[in-house]
Structure 1
Amino acid sequence: MNSIDRLLRPSLRGRRPYGAPQLDVSVRLNTNENSYPLPQPVADAVVRAVAEAVPHLNRYPDRDAVELRTELADYLGHDLTIDQVWAANGSNEILQQLLQAFGGPGRVALGFTPSYSMHPILAAATGTDWRDGGRDEDFTVTAEHVVAQIERHKPDVVFLCSPNNPTGTALDPAVVTAAVEHGDALVVVDEAYAEFARAGTVGALELLPGRLRLVVTRTMSKAFGLAGARLGYLAADPQVVDAVQLVRLPYHLSTLTQVTAVAALRHRKALLANVTVIRHERDRLVRELSDLGLLVAPSDANFVLFGGLADSAAVWQSLVDRGVLIRDVGIDGWLRVTAGTPGENDAFLSALATVLKSA
């Protein structure tokens, strides 16, 4: 063991950092980004906001991000106030802060994989023991299963993902309610893809009133197309917001991030106009992948998980060879593709059809 490994915390030894391949190909549909650039009026508004802020960068940012949190509360609705909203550098920092405050050594986090791969990584990074409750073969999770796993593992933090990544389907609200009503854990519902959910889907925000231990996390990386700005946020009881401030770094959210997000929120109608198009393309991928004879998981997100592949790694590589990058999520026989622009999706479907035919 070399000197660094010897010094490294035992729980981190042998681990690999999170990451997705970023290859120089013509079609990149592997990280669930929004394929549409910011509309020019929104880009102009962001540039103006940043230009106004730049001369004042000698001063620290607003530590409490009051203006931004006010805009986020207005966007979320449900009579939320600034005291119920918190923001950070991407939803990953939000999740990390929650684990720093409510997890840690001697505490347990429970998740249901396959799900967002950062949940166990963040648990390890904060010294929180990780327990996997698993899912059914069709990737679903029921209220009964969640309750059984909570009773078995007695977690301090429960992670639910709705719509779930990488499988795509939103949770039945009964699952969230059951998780909150059984045990004493903080229940974190990761809703990074909530804006893409199919009509009639009930989100966890509607369940917040009166539930002290329920937290809903969101991001502006996906529907808002601000992956490069790194802005995530949560909605919860004010006591949860107070708790995460105990572990936040001083001035953790830069002035430039704050003003960018505020400008985007004030132009959200233009930004979110592409969500309808992305939903349409997502549903098109579901249909056409099914027509190719593949297994397809129902999706409420901006991506589709498809399977029935004899050698998913070989299919992934063959697509890369044809200039199309999607995601191998580590589920044997399954791959995940982001719903891109119509042209990107055409290229993917054409390449996949060719690969399947040759195989």
Structure 2
Amino acid sequence: MSEESRAEVLARLPLRDDLRGRTPYGAPQLEVPVRLNTNENSHDVPGEVVQAILDAVRQQARHLNRYPDREFTGLREDLANYLGHDLEAEQVWAANGSNEVLQQLLQAFAGAGRTVLGFTPSYSMHPIISTGTGATWVDGRRGLDGQAADDPHQFDLHIDETVEQIRVHRPHVTFLCSPNNPTGTALDLALVEAAYAATDGILIVDEAYHEFARSGTPSALSLLPGRERLIVSRTMSKAFALAGVRLGYMAAHPAVTDAIRLVRLPYHLSSLTQAAAQAALWHSDVLLDTVETIKSERDRIVASVTELGLKPAPSDANFVLIGGFDDEKAVWRSLLSRGVLIRDVGLAGFLRVTAGTPAENTKFLDALADSLLDAPVAV
């Protein structure tokens, strides 16, 4: 069947009007030697953890004739213990990736006739999930007037401007990312506090990359006491190197988990997913050993691209947003021709690269230096 005929059939289907003309999420999945475009942890799961996961899954396999624990109680207890901050299991929720957690939250607190505010550039799934639940997405502004086009700080959030936009749009749900994707920058908790005080709606702080933050960077988890509309989401896909498991989670007031139960599908977390995630949490110290290596490599990338005349954003994540390209698309193509895949995030003059293994990063930096000879940096 041709792509054209599929498009014609899609045009005839009774698709929701607000979904027509939209494109799905899709980072390129190309078979190249060095893939640094999706912010995965490039280190394989350690053998010790692989064995623990296999043992846990094997135990559950005998009982796959039964539905899983609908409340995934053991997993929630382990997640609460990992997060600390005196959290209890009843404050924690999990689903198949943090995207499903966010979808459930928007099903409960957004939807048709309600608005969701986010500050772009940020995680591209936030508007997609919002629209998918029927909510109206509002693009918030970052930076300050008069900043240079190649200045990575143009993507920073500022308290006064953030609060003003929340008060103007009065969203039912507001998204903040810390560290932000694609910029990698973490938020000062004063901004989170101010944003929460400015809204009567739900405030979600997406902390998918928090484990990679520089030393001393606080988590919004510390702000949960006394704030019943604050939610902090996390994932095991990044620092835990378990992107293939698909386990995301969040912490909030227990009443928030009660709200999610109204929209979640029954038995949404399989027994095998629960077993694999718990086995990983029991070995979190081993899994997180790679985090310091990744942070060191991230900082190496920042220093190296600066020496090449580029302008990287300060990063608290496992990736770096690099500015200063005169033609970022030409550089992206040049890198790909050299076997290196990074991410064009749609920002003029910028590209984003995941901090991979030391060997992968060396190949990227060498390929970048060569590519800049073909497509010089902006002047």
Q: Distance in 2 between the 1:23 and 1:348 partners?
A: 16
**SS of alignment partner, residue 305 of structure 2:** helix
Aligned counterpart, 2:248: 232
**SS in structure 2 at match of 1:121:** helix
1:41-78: CA deviations, max 9, x gaps? 00000000111111111111110100000000000000
SS of residue paired to 1:233? strand
> Can you list the C-alpha shifts for 1:249-293, whole angstroms capped at 9, x where unaligned?
010011111000000000000000100000000011110011100
Q: Summarize the alignment of residues 77-156 of structure 1 with structure 2, pairs less than 5 Å apart.
A: 77-136=84-143, 137=147, 138-156=154-172
Q: CA offsets, 1:281-332, max 9 Å, x none?
A: 0011110011100011000000000011111111101101000000000101
Q: Which amino acid aligns with 1:99?
A: L
Q: Percent same amino acid at aligned positions?
A: 63
1:261 match:
277
Letter in 1 for 2:10: I
Question: How do residues 32-111 of structure 1 correspond to structure 2 at under 5 angstroms?
Answer: 32-111=39-118
Using the TM superposition, give the Cα deviation of residue 133 of structure 1 relative to its aligned residue in structure 2, in angstroms: 1.1
Equivalent position of 1:215 in the other structure? 231
User: TM-score if structure 1 supplies the norm length?
Assistant: 0.99
CA distance in 2, matches of 1:334, 1:4: 34
Q: Which amino acid aligns with 2:11?
A: D
The answer for the alignment partner of 2:150 in structure 1 is none
> For the structure 1 residues 357 and 260, does the alpha-carbon distance in structure 2 shift closer, same or farther, using more than 3 Å as the test?
same
Report the equivalent of 2:3. none
CA distance in 1, matches of 2:162, 2:263: 29
**Aligned partners of 1:152, 1:5: CA distance in 2, in Å?**
36
Residue 363 (structure 2) pairs with residue 347 (structure 1): yes
Q: Which amino acid aligns with 1:25?
A: V
Q: Write the deviation string for residues 107-132 of structure 1: whole angstroms up to 9, x where unpaired.
A: 00000000000000001100000101
Which residue, out of 333, 340, 343, partners 1:317? Answer: 333
- Give the partner amino acid of 1:106: G
Aligned-pair CA distance for 1:3: 5.2
How many Å separate the matches in 2 of 1:328 and 1:72?
34
Once the 2 structures are TM-superposed, how far is the Cα of residue 146 of structure 1 from its aligned partner?
1.2
| Aligned residues between the structures | 359
Residue deviations 1:176-217 (CA, integer Å, cap 9, x gap): 101111120100000000000001111100111110110000
Query: Do the aligned partners of residues 183 and 358 (structure 1) sit closer, same or farther apart at CA in structure 2, a change above 3 Å counting?
Result: closer
What are the equivalent positions in structure 2 for 1:147-186 lying under 5 Å apart? 147-186=163-202
Structure 1 residue 26: deviation in Å? 0.2
Q: Identify the residue that residue 273 of structure 1 maps to in structure 2.
A: 289
1:158-183 deviation digits (Å, cap 9, x = unpaired) = 00000000000001101110111112
Q: What letter matches 2:339 in structure 1?
A: G
In structure 1, what residue type is equivalent to 2:126? H
Letter in 2 for 1:147: V
Report the equivalent of 1:4.
10
CA distance in 2, matches of 1:325, 1:255: 35
Task: Give 1:2 deviation, angstroms.
Answer: 4.3
**DSSP 3-state at the match of 2:121:** coil
Paired residue secondary structure (1:56): coil
TM-score, length of structure 2 as denominator length: 0.94
Q: CA deviation at 1:245?
A: 1.0
Match of residue 212, structure 2, among 196, 205, 226: 196
2:30 maps to 23
Partners of 1:113 and 1:120 lie apart in 2 by 10
The two structures, once aligned, show a CA RMSD in angstroms of 0.9
Which 5+ residue runs of structure 1 have no aligned equivalent? Answer: none
Cα separation, 1, equivalents of 2:176 and 2:196? 11
